[in-house]
Structure 1
Amino acid sequence: THRHSYLHGRFCLGFPLAWKRLLFSLFHFFTFASLSGVNRKVTYSLADSADGYFSVDRSSGIIILEHPLDRELQSSYNISVKASDQSIVLTLSSFATVTITVLDINDNPPVFERRDYLVTVPEDTSPGTEVLSVFATSQDIGTNAEIAYLIRSGNEKGKFRINSKTGVISIFEALDYESCKDFYLVVEAKDGGTPALSAVTTVNVNVTDVNDNAPKFSQVVYSAVISEDAAIGDSVIMVSEAVGSIYAGRSSMPHDL
């Protein structure tokens, strides 16, 4: 008698995103029957081709990839495969569901939430103070999405430090407005994939002045000669701040005797 069915259960497969080749064999179904003759010959078809991404060879049961996959768009597919015998009396069929899981590869570089950053910091800010946090994300998953941060350039004076895991930038050494008013740090975000992918952003640290430098005269002792008949209000001598002082040339600087 003809009572056998051919496919049973659920099959789970995983394939890397990198397999872009069309018509690539994914899996070969096995059917089991103890029939003979035409009843033993089985043909395969797809009840669901997942929008044309897959096909099946009618004779071999090999499932074929018809289009490149992208895990970021769809991470898995469920397709239903039908196996039918060739009985001329009564055709019997069975179905099996194949779950195809698309594995991730490192094909998406990190992306910073901002193209550049600006922060203003007073020059007397204490070392160890956190001044800014940068943040980047990846569309990949797992290790491919694990991001490490580093200052690639602009920190030659060693004034700043970045936490490689959190992206928090802090002051490492004391700042001095009179020495440097602006720092342009190039910060890199690198993922954990192989090979690693990366992105960069610029962090502008603007140092503001605080009143931490007392005025300095250009000389310690001044002397002047004045006539005894000088009128009230006549100029006697001009005192000035030292060349290079931040107060030099400021006409509004008050002077007292």
Structure 2
Amino acid sequence: MTAPSVLVHRDLDLLAEAAAARLVTRIADAQAARGAASVVLTGGGAGTAVLAALAAAPARGAIGWGRLDVWWGDERFRPAGDAERNETGARAALLDHVPVDPARVRAMPASDGPDGDDPEAAAERYAAALRAAASPGGGPVPVFDVLMLGVGPDAHVASLFPGRPALHDERPVVAVRDSPKPPPTRISLTFPSLRAAREVWLLAAGESKAEAVRLGLADGADVSRAPAAGARGRDRTLFLLDRAAASELHG
């Protein structure tokens, strides 16, 4: 796994604008090199702020939106269109405002989807979609260009919470029940899938995230205590923070 780099911005607004600009560049570069690009989105305050900043950025025209594959790192297992779903927030902030190809926007199944109220079946359905999009012989998931993750106050990422079995699951996608953060039922990528990304960006803003950020960056951190410490990219790992979230870092 790559050693993380830390970039600190004055506040959430500047963090979101800077991350959006960086995302334009990464997507455009990937499309120039390989014809298409893939991103994995996250919810939460910082993740949604980045998407809103991207929607407002004049440079968004540099992205070939019809050649962009959109995935999610986790999802609340709620009905389609529910306000708690990460997909709903992403559509409102960005996806409804840009010419993405609907067939390339791969939302995680909803609880009123084809699998009904069965999160295990829904997780396997998403895993099958990832396998179908992966390069032949290249593993169970695509090599994502950028995978964004929020960092929770307890240092969770995606829906991988401290001390929970999903931290050690080798399947690409898992159902998460009894989440300590509501809603209790979720679907999440696992560490092997997160680590398939070329770049992993961990986003955190606010003083409530400071301890989690410190744990996520600590040398030899216990991933079972601080899942953020286990989220690393193949080529690059970035912690994109505001000053408050970085307040417990030293040096």
Q: TM-score, normalised by structure 1?
A: 0.20
- Whichever structure has more helix as a proportion of its residues is 2
Higher relative contact order (CA 8 A, sep 6+): 2
Taking structure 2 as the reference length, the TM-score comes to: 0.20
Larger radius of gyration: 1
